[in-house]
Structure 1
Amino acid sequence: MQKESNISRAFTWLEPGPVILVTTNNGKRNNVCTISWHMVMDFSPHIAITTGNWNQSFDTILHTRECVLCIPGLDLLDDVLYAGMHSGTKIDKFARLHLTALQGNFVKAPLIEECLACIECKLESHIETYGILIFKGLQLWENKSRKENRTAHAVGDGSFISDGHIITKYRKNMRTKIPDGCTRF
């Protein structure tokens, strides 16, 4: 039976996309922050994240107009939490977390070798009222050697959900709606 609940919890039903690490480079050093509010906007790929000026990476992204969106495995959840709870103005989070920075093809912000995938991005738009940054993905990098392929999904209340069970039996029925080359499994 459905029961009325507090509207302030509504987002906890929608939010569970994978928590991501966003890397930047301000010309002097690399930084990494944690973002759980993001969305894929279409197949092109355009990706939006929500953040604001409380986050050092936000200012760097506005200035450099680039970043890398990195998808960590569940085994990196402690690092993800640390990156989200500490400011890059005070510490070098790459060094503190022993993350390996790799150079991509299109942006100065680093890939994170330990992540499942990384997407080099250029900023296309900023919707200031909502702190929404819209990126165009330029290059996807995948680390197929990772043993841990599950991702962590923030519920928004300090808890996380992990995935891992992959269902592909419906793919044939949906084939006409999916662009060529975008199957992952």
Structure 2
Amino acid sequence: MPKKSYPLAKVYGLLEPGPVVLLTTAAAGRANVMTMSWHAMLEFEPPLLSCVVSNRNYSFDLLMATRECVINIPTAEIAEQVVQCGNVSGATVDKFLQCGLTPVAAKMVGAPLIAECYASLECRVVDISRVKKYGQFVLEVVKAWRDPAVTAPRTLHHLGYGKFMVAGDIIQLKSTMR
């Protein structure tokens, strides 16, 4: 079957970078949650990742002010809450309360972990040189948490316009990487 032209505005759905995450921030005694799917690993050690947060998001100001956050990785079991977090603004709503999520104190940063997520990465902002132009933050993971009971997480992957793919089958192939 021959390929057909595809709308440029939908390309991001073809190259989604990884699982949808819940970015938490906190300032002045108030925590916030933001649904985010634009992120990528940049380095193994120390673990560095890039994420894009628009200056139109409430989380942007909190991230700029505190220079720290937590990347929480949810599974399909809380998909409804993940989407709900992405459809309301933390400037006017307590998303933890409204979406039924449980904040848990982090060890290294002021932003909370989310109890319902199978993994959480405490991060500090290490580079903002591309924030003004692209909204791109570079984060260093300073502490990582993972629920050992979750051996095959069914993560969500955003395909655009309310469509998500759920990661499923795991295959093991020969690798020389350690």
RMSD (CA atoms): 1.6
1:146 Cα shift? 4.5
Q: Spell out the pairing of 1:18-97 with structure 2 (5 A cutoff).
A: 18-44=19-45, 45-97=47-99
Paired residue type of 1:95: L
Q: Is the 8 A contact 1:73 1:148 kept in 2?
A: no
> Do the aligned partners of 1:152 and 1:160 also contact (CA within 8 Å) in 2?
yes
Q: Which residue of 2 aligns with 1:163?
A: 167
**Residue 140 (structure 1) aligns with:** 144
| TM-score when normalising by structure 2 | 0.91
* Counterpart-to-counterpart distance in 2, 1:129 and 1:108: 27
Task: Report deviation, 1:51.
Answer: 1.5
Deviation per CA, 1:122-170: give whole Å up to 9, x if none: 0011212011011000111012235882011001232100112111223
CA distance in 2, matches of 1:97, 1:121: 23
Number of residue pairs aligned between Structure 1 and Structure 2: 174
Deviation at 1:28, TM superposition (A): 1.7
Secondary structure class of the residue paired with 2:80:
helix
Counterpart for residue 114 of structure 2 = 112
- Preserved CA contact (<8 Å) 2:106 2:113: yes
Deviations 1:73-100 (A, max 9, x none): 1011111111111011211111122211
Q: Which structure features the higher share of strand residues?
A: 2
Contact 2:17 2:40 in 1 (8 A): no
Structure 1, gaps ≥5 residues long: 179-185
Q: Which residue of 2 aligns with 1:4?
A: 5
1:125 is aligned to 127
5+ residue gaps, structure 2, are none
* Cα separation, 2, equivalents of 1:114 and 1:147: 15
Identity value in percent: 36
Find the counterpart in structure 1 of residue 156 from structure 2: 152
Q: Distance in 2 between matches of 1:7 and 1:97?
A: 33
> Which segments of structure 1 move beyond 4 Å, counting only runs of 4 or more?
none
Residues 10, 108 of structure 1: CA spacing in aligned structure 2 closer, same or farther, 3 A cutoff?
Answer: same
Cα 1:96–1:4, aligned 2, differ >3 Å: closer, same or farther? closer
Correspondence for 1:13:
14
Shift of 1:16: 5.1
Corresponding letter in the other structure for 2:20: V
